[in-house]
Amino acid sequence: MNSSDTLSPKLAAFRPDLADARLKGRVQAEAYVDGQQASIRIALADLRRQADDKAPLDSQLMQSEQVLVFERKDGWAWVQCQTDGYVGYIGENNLGPALTTAATHRVSVLRTPLFTAPDIKSPVRNYLSLQTPLHVRESDGRFLLLETGGWVYARHADTIDSCATDWTATALSFLGTPYLWGGRSSLGLDCSALVQLSLAAAGLEVPRDSDQQEEAPDLGDRLYPGEDFQRGDLLYWPGHVAIALGPDSVVNATAAPLQVIVETFRELDERARSDGGPLRTIRRPTILS
């Protein structure tokens, strides 16, 4: 039997007492269980490292994202997000039933109101963030009625297969957004989430964390320090990632000013070197058409 050390607990659901049944033969656990399909019922659900409100925030899940549930206990659910495979704990009351239809659209702006009626003067139920999947039941031409309830302004959504290929422009639209460790929306996000959301808008799904992205086999070409980088290249330091705007500047979500900023490569490189180490990898995502 292979050691569980070869698997990351962030991307595979296993504990000494319980594990995803798909991992039987790869990890040892007292019991194995098949994940049960469910969906996120609120605009943004915190995914934590342990079943505790005080545990570190590892990521966030968006409304209608699908999850596999391996355990429900004491008001918490141990889940795996089907968007990026991330594993963690969310409040059980954030879960809704699995959706019976595939997402047809996605939010294409930083944040959009979810109205109670197809009228901009109607009460707002919540705000949905960029890349939130939308399961559209019907449209009146101006608004989209969601399977989960509520109406979204149609011009704030794209069809699920559309691509905004300039992921750098998407990243720049987040300028001024607060930095939030584990955040994954325009209310607050971290460096790797900025990359993940920007590339997702371009039709390229990438892992959640910077180290996972750095090693992702299908992200694109791999370059190394000393090679020229260009607009759209992803620059990886230990524990940090930025998007190049050209050879001299970058956009990144950083804890230094606690927000998404544009700065010179030299400024970021000096800070990153002192925090964790030198630039070690450049990834050039495959250009999509």
DSSP state of 94: G
DSSP state of 147: T
Q: Give residue-wise pLDDT tens across range 184-223.
A: 999 999 999 999 999 999 999 999 999 999 999 999 999 9
Closest CA to 266 of 143, 24, 274: 274
Q: Does the pLDDT of residue 39 top 70, yes or no?
A: yes
User: Is residue 25 located within the same domain as residue 129?
Assistant: no
Average pLDDT of the residues in 14-19: 98
Please, what is the Cα angle at 110 between 247 and 53, to 5 degrees? 105
Question: Residue 266 sits in which domain range?
Answer: 167-285
> For residue 4, what pLDDT band results from cuts at 50, 70 and 90?
very low
Closest CA to 66 of 101, 99, 23: 99
Q: Does the pLDDT of residue 150 top 80, yes or no?
A: yes
Return the C-alpha torsion angle 112, 80, 280, 168, nearest 10.
-20
User: Is residue 280 located within the same domain as residue 174?
Assistant: yes
Domain count, the chain: 3
pLDDT of residue 287: 64
User: Is residue 148 located within the same domain as residue 43?
Assistant: no
Q: What percent of the chain shows pLDDT beyond 70?
A: 97
Q: Does the pLDDT of residue 36 top 60, yes or no?
A: yes
Q: Does the pLDDT of residue 286 top 90, yes or no?
A: no
User: Is residue 151 located within the same domain as residue 179?
Assistant: no
DSSP state of 267: H
Q: Does the pLDDT of residue 136 top 50, yes or no?
A: yes
Q: Give residue-wise pLDDT tens across range 227-279.
A: 889 999 999 999 999 999 999 999 999 999 999 999 999 999 999 999 999 99
pLDDT of residue 226: 87
Q: At 59, is the secondary structure helix, strand, or coil?
A: strand
Closest CA to 2 of 18, 25, 21, 19: 25
Return the CATH number at 129: 2.30.30.40
User: Is residue 119 located within the same domain as residue 186?
Assistant: no
User: Is residue 69 located within the same domain as residue 142?
Assistant: no
Average pLDDT of the residues in 152-172: 96
pLDDT of residue 3: 38
Average pLDDT of the residues in 134-151: 96
User: Is residue 11 located within the same domain as residue 66?
Assistant: yes
Q: How far apart are CA 130 and CA 198, in angstroms?
A: 9
User: Is residue 24 located within the same domain as residue 119?
Assistant: no
DSSP state of 251: E
User: Average pLDDT of the chain?
Assistant: 95
Q: What percent of the chain shows pLDDT beyond 90?
A: 94
User: Is residue 66 located within the same domain as residue 143?
Assistant: no
A 10 A CB-CB count for 23 gives 17
Q: For 160-164, 167-171, 239-243, which range has the lowest pLDDT when averaged over its residues?
A: 160-164
Q: Does the pLDDT of residue 48 top 50, yes or no?
A: yes
Closest CA to 196 of 223, 219, 173: 219
Average pLDDT of the residues in 37-48: 98
Return the CATH number at 281: 3.90.1720.10
Q: Does the pLDDT of residue 6 top 90, yes or no?
A: no
User: Is residue 280 located within the same domain as residue 175?
Assistant: yes
Average pLDDT of the residues in 97-117: 97
Q: What is the Cα gyration radius of the chain?
A: 20
pLDDT of residue 18: 98
Q: Does the pLDDT of residue 5 top 80, yes or no?
A: no
